[in-house]
Amino acid sequence: MMLSRPRRNRRNAAVRGLVQETHLTPAHLVLPLFLTAEPGVQRSEIASLPGHARLSLDAMLAEIEESMALGIRSFVVFPAVPDTLKDKVATYSYDPANFYLRAARAIKQRFPECWLISDVAMDPYNIDGHDGLVGQGRILNDETLPILGRMGVAQAEAGFDMLGPSDMMDGRVEYLREALDDAGFTETGILSYTAKYASAFYGPFRAALDSAPRTDADIPADKKTYQMDPANAREAIREAALDLAEGADMLMVKPALNYLDIIYRLKEVSDVPIAAYHVSGECAMLLAACRNGWLDYERAMPETLTSIRRAGADVILTYLAKDFARWYAARQ
């Protein structure tokens, strides 16, 4: 005799539907997009992230329209800034003529119902390739904050619904919250990159933006003095407590897959939603294996995204958002 037989609840699709614990829909996904202003370029493919490209504003508007039709309503946009517009203090990040800010205006004008998230960090605009200001061979924390503040307010003015500080400077969430409120942007949210690790999985992203740290003797070669050590978990809880106290509206874990335990832990201590960034390298790994015929994309892709949600992510940023939405629609 066997009293307990878990297989009884798996006998057919109907009962499996009854007992399914985790649900993921396109409404939970954010699609990251790369913006270019290179003259004459509509689409410039990113070799290490097949199927993804830097897009002109027109191409991005079309991409957003197509995504919205699939049920994806949230987007995070990153600018590919030409070197000629970069300097040590990221001046272009709050220049009123900035193509990124103009694009945000155009996107929100055309799609007022979408949720548009920005990137707050110096690296797209910084000739040194770091998220903060480089001085005396170091990344200067407190001197970076006013730059992030100007950048953030300019983004709110341009119409972004939510700022995404990805820089990992200490105190930046509070600094941004106060800067936004002082400027009257009390409704603009903050999605904090709370636990962002110094990860090897950002490669395709840095290639897309040409934003890797400059290789120079006087410049730190990596981001380890501000991004977290992949070996640490309790430190993520400390970062979460700070971001909650500083007024973050959502907390993010990044990357997602190698950090599912961090997602789970932050979910337990946070009363705001948890986001997870399924980063470029993680997507590239899956795409590579599937393109080689080693894995079945139609099964591996939804399983991957569902595992991130099962770990506790309310929101998932993923380059695979459109593929998931198509897969989801085909099953309805």
CA distance 182 to 285: 43
> Would you say 128 or 131 has its CB closer to ligand PBG?
131
Is 196 noted as a catalytic residue in this protein?
A: yes
The tokens describing 275, both together, are 């986001």
Of 276, 273, 271, nearest in space to 245 by CA: 271
In the complex, what is the shortest distance from the CB of residue 202 to ligand PBG, in angstroms, rounded to a whole number? 4
In the complex, what is the shortest distance from the CB of residue 231 to ligand PBG, in angstroms, rounded to a whole number? 18
Where on the chain is the footprint of ligand PBG (CB under 6 A)?
A: 119, 121, 123, 131, 166, 202, 205-206, 223, 279-280
CA distances from 316 to 172, 252, 273, 294 (A): 23, 9, 11, 25
> Would you say 95 or 210 has its CB closer to ligand PBG?
210
86, 223, 254, 322: the active-site residue:
254
In the complex, what is the shortest distance from the CB of residue 199 to ligand PBG, in angstroms, rounded to a whole number? 8
CA distance 325 to 298: 12
> Would you say 48 or 270 has its CB closer to ligand PBG?
48
196, 223, 267, 322: the active-site residue:
196
> Would you say 205 or 324 has its CB closer to ligand PBG?
205
| Sign of the CA dihedral with 97 first, then 208, 195, and 117 last | positive
Q: Residue 255, preceding bond cis, omega within 30 degrees?
A: yes
In the complex, what is the shortest distance from the CB of residue 81 to ligand PBG, in angstroms, rounded to a whole number? 12
The tokens describing 134, both together, are 């480089």
Of 249, 244, 246, 253, nearest in space to 117 by CA: 249
Is 223 noted as a catalytic residue in this protein?
A: no
Q: Which residues are catalytic?
A: 196, 254
